[in-house]
Amino acid sequence: MKIKTKFFGEIDISEEQIILFPFGIYGFEEYNKFVLLHDEENDGENIFRWLQCVDEAGLCFTVMEPKFADKNYSPKLPENILSKLGINKEEDIICLVITVIYDEIEKSTVNLLSPVIINSKNKIAAQIILETSEPENNGYKTKHRLFDNTQKGELAVC
């Protein structure tokens, strides 16, 4: 099927690529079909990916693996959410964080408090808000600086 995208024009996708968000993404609950895209020219070197809405070309989130923002990121995910997503094994989890890239690149942030969790097997996903009462989740913020302020232009994990 063909879809229109925000950054890649019109592209072909297969049904198997569609990620279903039964509860939507916070603030965009009415949209529940997305596809995960990356820049094919930089395949293998992609830090950033795009979570593109299938039904609305203008709705696209820049995402990344949280390890690029915090190498020690290891949140405690709620069991009830994992169950709703049909996740039985840790290796079936794809964890991404929504990224906001600003014109002044050093101000760019990631949302470590509300990761996107995808079941890699059945392609069912949810954005969750971590329980800050859990010790593992204490300190995660919605606006975690992506770049280390001590070394301008370096990712936080570099």
The answer to whether residue 107 is domain-embedded is yes
The C-alpha atoms of residue 58 and residue 78 are separated, in whole angstroms, by 31
pTM: 0.88
Q: What is the pLDDT of residue 43?
A: 57
Domain that holds residue 94: 2-145
Classify burial at 8, counting beta carbons within 10 Å of its beta carbon; exposed 0-12, middle 13-18, buried 19 or more.
middle
What's the CATH code of the domain at 53?
A: 2.30.290.10
Q: How many domains does the chain have?
A: 1
Q: Give the pLDDT of the chain (158 residues) as one tens digit per residue.
A: 999 999 999 999 999 999 999 999 999 999 999 999 987 665 556 789 999 999 999 999 999 999 999 999 999 999 999 999 999 999 999 999 999 999 998 999 999 999 999 999 999 999 999 998 888 888 899 999 988 654 444 555 44
- Alpha-helix residue ranges (DSSP H) falling in the chain: 79-84
Q: What is the pLDDT of residue 42?
A: 59
